[in-house]
Amino acid sequence: MELAKRLNKLPPYLFVEINQKIAELRARGEDIISFAIGDPDLPTPSHIIECMCQAARDPTNYRYPETAGLPELRQAIAEWYERRFGVTLAPDKEMLPLIGSKEGIGHIALCFIGPGDLALVPDPGYPPYSLGTILAGGEPYFMPLKEENDFLPDFEAIPGKIADKAKLMWLNYPNNPTGAIAGFDFFEKGVRFAQQHDLAICHDAPYTEVAFDGYKPPSFMQIAGAKKIGVEFHSLSKTYHMTGWRIGMVVGNAGMVDALFKVKSNLDSGIPQAIQYAAVEALRGSQEHIAAHNAIFQGRRDKLVKVLNEIGLQARMPKATFYVWAKIPQGNTSIDFTKKLLNEVGIAVTPGIGYGKEGEGYIRFSLTISDDRLEQGIDRLSSWHRRSK
Q: Give the one residue of 44, 61, 101, 368 binding ligand PLP; rule: CB under 6 A.
A: 101
Kindly state the smallest distance separating residue 31's Cβ from ligand PLP, in Å: 25
Q: Is 146 helix (H, G, I), strand (E, B) or coil?
A: coil
172/294 with CB nearer ligand PLP:
172
What lies within 8 Å, CB to CB, of 87 at 6+ separation is 81, 219, 221, 222, 251
Distance between CA atoms of 356 and 124, rounded to whole angstroms?
Answer: 5
Contact between 153 and ligand PLP by CB under 6 A: the answer reads: no
Kindly state the smallest distance separating residue 184's Cβ from ligand PLP, in Å: 20
Q: How many residues bind ligand PLP (CB under 6 A)?
A: 13
8 Å CB contact between 94 and 252: yes
Distance between CA atoms of 42 and 240, rounded to whole angstroms?
Answer: 9
Q: Give the one residue of 126, 142, 170, 173 binding ligand PLP; rule: CB under 6 A.
A: 126
Q: Give the one residue of 237, 253, 276, 298 binding ligand PLP; rule: CB under 6 A.
A: 237
38/356 with CB nearer ligand PLP:
38
Q: What are phi and psi of 100, to 5 degrees?
A: 85, 145
Distance between CA atoms of 98 and 104, rounded to whole angstroms?
Answer: 6
Q: Which stretch binds ligand PLP (CB under 6 A): 235-243, 303-311, 348-356, 357-365?
A: 235-243
Q: What are phi and psi of 204, to 5 degrees?
A: -105, 120
Q: Which stretch binds ligand PLP (CB under 6 A): 95-103, 151-159, 190-198, 211-219?
A: 95-103
19/376 with CB nearer ligand PLP:
19
Kindly state the smallest distance separating residue 14's Cβ from ligand PLP, in Å: 15
Interface mask (CB under 6 A) for ligand PLP, residues 193-232, using x and -? -----------x-x--------------------------
Interface mask (CB under 6 A) for ligand PLP, residues 74-93, using x and -? --------------------
Q: Give the one residue of 44, 172, 276, 334 binding ligand PLP; rule: CB under 6 A.
A: 172
CA distances 295 to 4, 278, 324, Å, are 47, 24, 16
Residue 61: alpha-carbon gap to chain centroid: 29
Let me know if 290 is exposed, middle or buried by CB neighbors in 10 A (0-12, 13-18, 19+). Answer: middle
8 Å CB contact between 282 and 48: yes
Contact between 100 and ligand PLP by CB under 6 A: the answer reads: yes
DSSP assignment letter at 327: E
Distance between CA atoms of 46 and 57, rounded to whole angstroms?
Answer: 17
208/237 with CB nearer ligand PLP:
237
Contact between 176 and ligand PLP by CB under 6 A: the answer reads: yes
Q: What is the largest CA-CA distance in the chain?
A: 65
- Listed in sequence order, the DSSP H helices in the chain are 14-27, 46-56, 71-85, 101-112, 128-135, 160-165, 184-197, 226-229, 254-267, 273-284, 288-310, 334-340, 371-387
Q: Give the one residue of 34, 36, 38, 367 binding ligand PLP; rule: CB under 6 A.
A: 38
Kindly state the smallest distance separating residue 379's Cβ from ligand PLP, in Å: 28
Kindly state the smallest distance separating residue 160's Cβ from ligand PLP, in Å: 28
Contact between 235 and ligand PLP by CB under 6 A: the answer reads: yes
Residue 75: CB atoms within 10 A of its CB come to: 16
Give, as ranges, the residues between 326 and 345 that touch ligand PLP (CB under 6 A): none
232/281 with CB nearer ligand PLP:
232
Interface contacts to ligand PLP, rule CB under 6 A: 38, 100-102, 126, 172, 176, 204, 206, 235, 237, 243, 248
